Chain A
Amino acid sequence: MVEPSMDLEPRTEESRRARWDGEGEVQEDGVPRLSTGIHRLDSILCGGFLRGGIYSVMGPPGSGKTLLGNQLCFHHASTGGRAIYVTLLAESHARMLLHIRPMSFFAPDRVGTSIQFVNAFSVLEQQGLDGLQDLLRRFIRESKATLAVIDGTQAVEAHAEKPLGFQKFLRELQAFTGLLDCTVLLLTPTSPSRTQAENTMVDGVLELSHSLLGPRAVRELTVHKFRGSESLAGRHEMEIGRDGMIIHPRTEVQFNRPPSRAGEQRIRMPFGIPELDEMTHGGIVSGSTTMVLGPPGVGKTILGLQFLAHGASQGQPGVYFGFFETPPRLLEKARDVGIDLESYCQEGLIEVQWQPPLEHYVDELAERLLERIRERKVERLRVFIDGFAGFKSALFYPERLPRFFAALTHELRNLDVTTIFAEEADLFRTEIKLPDEDLAAVVENILVLRNVEVRSQLHRILSIRKMRESDYDAAAREFHITSRGIEVAPSFESAEAILSGQEVRATRGRERGRQASPARSRTRKGSRESASVRKVTKGGRKGPTRGVAGRRS
Chain B
Amino acid sequence: MKTVLIVDDEFDIADALSAIFEVEGYAVRLCSNGAECLKELAQGLPDLMLLDIMMPVMDGLELLRRIRGDARYSHLPVIMMSAVKPREANPGWQMFIQKPFNISALLQGVHKLIGSPTEAESA
Contact = CB atoms under 8 A, between A and B. Distances in A.
B97 A176 contact: no
Counting chain B CB atoms within 10 Å of each CB, the highest count among A2, A11, A16 belongs to A2
Contacts of B103: 179-181
B106 A8 contact: yes
B18 to A, nearest CB: 10
Contacts, number: 97
Interface in B54-95: 74-75, 77, 85, 90, 92-95
Contacts of B45: none
Given A4-B94, A5-B94, A137 B19 contact: yes
Interface stretch (A40-48, A167-175, A291-299, A463-471): A167-175
A375 interface: no
Interface residues of A, number: 30
A2 B94 CA distance: 7
B77 A3 contact: yes
Contacts of B1: none
A395 to B, nearest CB: 43
Interface in B3-32: 10, 12-13, 15-17, 19-20, 23
Counting chain B CB atoms within 10 Å of each CB, the highest count among A4, A7, A52 belongs to A7
Interface string A1-33: 111111111111011101100000000000000
Given A1-B77, A179-B17, A179-B20, A18 B102 contact: yes
Interface string A154-192: 000000000000000001101110111100000000000
Given A141-B20, A175-B15, A6 B102 contact: no
Contact of B96 (A3, A5, A19, A52): A5
Contact of B12 (A10, A138, A172): A172
Contact of B13 (A5, A19, A175): A175
B121 interface: yes
Nearest to A138: B23
A172 B90 CA distance: 31
Interface residues of B, number: 34
A7 to B, nearest CB: 5
A131 to B, nearest CB: 14
Counting chain B CB atoms within 10 Å of each CB, the highest count among A4, A6, A172 belongs to A6
8 contacts: A2-B74, A2-B75, A5-B93, A6-B95, A7-B98, A12-B102, A16-B102, A179-B20
Given A11-B102, A172-B16, 9 more contacts: A2-B74, A3-B94, A7-B97, A8-B98, A10-B101, A52-B100, A175-B15, A179-B16, A179-B20
